[in-house]
Structure 1
C-alpha cells in the first residue's frame, strides 16, 4: 500500500524503528534556528570559560572543606564531628575503585585520571552537567537534527539558543551556524534516533571544524556498544589531541539497566582548556547518586561475560542474527520489517523511502495533524517527526505482533483514502512499491 506521502527507514539499534517522512515543511512547522547567524565572528583561541550559572552555583561547605588540607594523626582513630550523615553523599570523592573501573573502561589513546571522571544520575544528568557548565543564557549550542529531544529541553530551559545542523553531518551547514556566541557542538554517535554510526574520516572532519573555531565537543556515546555488524564505533576523543571532548556514556543501553541511573562524563582535555569549567562544576555535581550502584561498576564493566555482549547484540543486530537464523526475535523483527515495507509501499500518499506529501491530502498540513487524525479516526498512534526536530516525518515501531502491524497498516490505508485530495477509494490505493530494502 503506497502511502504516497511518507518515507520509510528501517532501524534496529539503537532502536527498532521505522521513519515515515512528510517532505513538505510549512513555515509554521519550523521551530528551529537553522539559518546562518547574523554575527560571524568566531573564537580565535582556546579560552573556554565556565558558564555564569556554573560560576554562580556555590556550595559553601564543599567550597571550603574540599580545599582544606586535612591530614589526621595516623596514630589515632579518626572521629568525625563535622556531619551527621552516616554515609558519603554526592559526587565528591567517589569511591576509588569506581573511578579506577571507569579509567580502565576508557580508551588507551585518550587516557584519563581519577579527576577526569564524573559519575551522574544517568546519562541525562551527565548531559545536563555538560550543557550547564559550558553554556550561558544568550549563547548558542549546535545540535543534530533529527536528534534526541532532551538536548533542546536542557538548553532552552537555561535560555540557550538552539541551532540545528543536518545529518549526516552537513559540514558546510554546520560551519555556517558558528558565530561568536557558539559555546559548543554536540555530537551524537551512534545516533539516536537515526542509528547512524560515523566513520573515522567523518569524525576527523568534524574535529577539524571544531579546531578551526576553538569549540569543545559534547559527545553523546550512550549507544557505543550497539553498532550494526560491519560498523566500527570510534570514540571521538581518540581522534584528537587538541579539541576538548566531554564524552557522555552510561550503562542503561548496553547493559540493559536504564532504571539504575548510572551515567558518566569522561573529560578529555589534554591541554587543560576546560580547567575552569571543571573546577566550578563541583557545586552542582552533588546529586542523587547511589553508592551501591557505583560499587557495582567494576564488576559490570570488567567482569561481564562476553556472552552477554554477544547475546545482546544478536537480539538487535540483523547481521549477527543471520548466524542464528531461527532466533525468534530476529525472525519477528525481519517479518515485521517486511510487512511494513510491503504494505506501506502500496498506500497512495506514502512511499518508501517516505515523505508525507501533504499536497496529496485535502485536509492534512503537517505530521502532527496527520498523527492526530490517524489516532482520532483509526486508533493508530505514531510519533510525529517534530518530536525529533524533523517536521513531516513520523516514527513507527515495528516490534508489535505481525497481525497487529497488518491491521494498523490496513487502517492507515483507509485513512489515507478518505483524506486523499483525489478522493480515491481503498480499492484504488495501489502504489508503485518504491523501497529502500
Structure 2
C-alpha cells in the first residue's frame, strides 16, 4: 500500500524563483479567465503576427506544401543541408566571415537556440552582459543555465542605446559574453554602425563571445538602416540569431537559426558543444525548414509593410501620434521591430506602479499590456505594446490608456493639494 501523502508538494528548482516572463505570465492568465467569462480583450502583450491577421507569405507556405512528403524522418541535428546552405549564402552575401553550412544551427525557434548556446557556454557563476531593458528570455536562459546576468543600461535619454564605457566597466574575470538585441525588443532602438564597432572592440579586448539577436533585422522604419554585427566582428567569435517568426510572420512554425562566425580555431570547442546539445534533442521541426530558402532568397514581403501606407508603418504612426497628444506619456519613437515602449510622465507618474497599471487596464479597459519592469529595468513607469494591430485599434487602445492615466493624474493632483 502506498505511503505517499497527497499533500506533499513536489519541490521545484530554486532558481526558477529568479525567472520572470510576464509576457505570458500572471496577467496573461488573468486575461484567459476574463475571456472565459465572455469578455472581449485587446491583447497587445505578444509579438505574434498570426494573432492579428497576418499570414506567412504564400511562397513560403508553398515551399512547405511541396516538400511535405519529405518531412517524416529526422534530419541532421544542425538542420536540413539545403536550409543551412541557404542561410550560409544569405549571411555570406552580407559580409559574415567564414559563413558556411557547417557553422549554421537550425532550431525550434530562436528561443531554443538561445538556451542551447548559453548551456554550451556557461559554467556555474559565469556572467553574461545583457541589455536593460532586455527580452526576458535572455535573462531566464542565463539564470537557468547557472549563469549570472549583468545588465548594461540602455537609457531612454540616450534613445535606449547603450553606453560602451558603462558596458566595459561591467566586464569582470567571470564575463563570458555580450548579448546585443538589434533592432531591440522592447524599445525599437536600432544600433548605428559606430556604436556596434565600439562594442565589438570591447569584446575583442576582453575575449568575449558576441551573442547577437537579430530576429527583427528586416523590420525598420523611415530611413533607418540595419547593420549586422558579424561582418564588423571579423575573426572574433560571434553567434548571430534569426528566424522566420517576425520578418516572415511565421511564429508557429518554430524555425530559427544561429550562425557561428569568427576564427574556426577559437570557435571549435563551442561549435562541438552546440552540435552535441543539438543532437541530444535529435533535430528541429523539419517541415518549416523547407521554407528557409524562399524566405531568405525569395520575394521581400516585409519592406512594404514598414513603409508609408504599410500596415506596420501606419500603426507605428498611430503610436507616435497618440503618445505626442497625451499629457501623460512620452515615447522614443521605435526605429525598428514590432513594439513601442512608452513612459508615463507628469502627475500620472506619481506613485506609479507598472504592474498595477497593467492590471487596471485589463480589468477596467479590456486591454492586455506588458509592464516595463518585466524587461529587467530598475524603473516602473514604462509599458510595452505591440505594433501588430490595425492603426485604428491602437488609437482606441491609447484613448483607453489616457482615460486611466487621467484618473490617476487627478487623484495624484488632489493628494498633492491636500498635503500642501
TM-score (structure 2 length as normaliser) = 0.69
> Cα gap change, 1:393/1:414 in structure 2, threshold over 3 Å: closer, same or farther?
closer
Flag the 1:396–1:361 CA change in 2: closer, same or farther, 3 A: closer
* Corresponding residue number in structure 1 for 2:149: 162
Partner of 1:105: 90
The answer for the alignment partner of 1:117 in structure 2 is 104
Q: What count of residue pairs does the alignment treat as equivalent?
A: 326
| In 1, Cα distance between equivalents of 2:78 and 2:315 | 47
8 Å Cα contact 1:360/1:421 also seen in 2: no
Residue matched to 1:337: 320
CA deviation after TM superposition for structure 1 residue 423, in Å: 5.5
Offset at 1:333?
4.7
* Alignment partner of 1:394 is 2:388: no
C-alpha distance 419-91 of structure 1, shift in aligned 2 (>3 A): farther
Q: CA deviation at 1:174?
A: 0.8
Question: Which structure: greater helix fraction?
Answer: 2
**2:226 pairs with 1:233:** yes
Q: Is the 8 A contact 2:367 2:397 kept in 1?
A: no
Specify the SS of the correspondent of 1:102: helix
Alignment of 1:10-409 (within 5 A): 88-89=73-74, 91-92=76-77, 94-108=79-93, 109=95, 110-167=97-154, 168-286=161-279, 287=281, 288-302=283-297, 304-306=298-300, 308=301, 312-315=302-305, 317=306, 320-321=307-308, 324=309, 331=314, 333-335=316-318, 337-342=320-325, 344-345=326-327, 347=328, 356=344, 364=351, 366-373=353-360, 375=362, 381-390=368-377, 391-397=379-385, 399=389, 400-409=393-402
CA RMSD between the two structures: 3.1
Instruction: Determine the C-alpha separation between the residues in 1 that align with 2:118 and 2:126.
Output: 11
Which deviates the most, 394-403 or 287-296?
394-403
Contact 2:362–2:368, Cα closer than 8 Å, also in 1: yes
Taking a change above 3 Å as real, the CA distance of residues 409 and 117 of structure 1, as seen in their structure-2 partners, is: same
Residues 396-435 of structure 1: pairs in structure 2 closer than 5 A: 396-397=384-385, 399=389, 400-420=393-413, 422=415
* TM score, norm. by length of structure 1: 0.67
> Deviation digits for residues 160-193 of structure 1, max 9, x if unmatched?
1110001212112111111111111111111111
Decide which moves more: 382-391 or 252-261. Answer: 382-391
- Stretches of structure 1 lacking an aligned partner (at least 5 in a row): 1-13, 17-85, 426-437
With a CA cutoff of 8 Å and minimum separation of 6, indicate the structure with the bigger relative contact order.
Answer: 1
Give 1 or 2 for the bigger CA radius of gyration: 1
Runs of 5+ consecutive residues of structure 2 not aligned to the other structure:
1-45, 49-70, 155-160, 333-341
1:308-344 residue CA offsets vs partner (Å, 9 max, x unmatched) = 2xxx3332x3xx21xx4xx6775555345323321x2
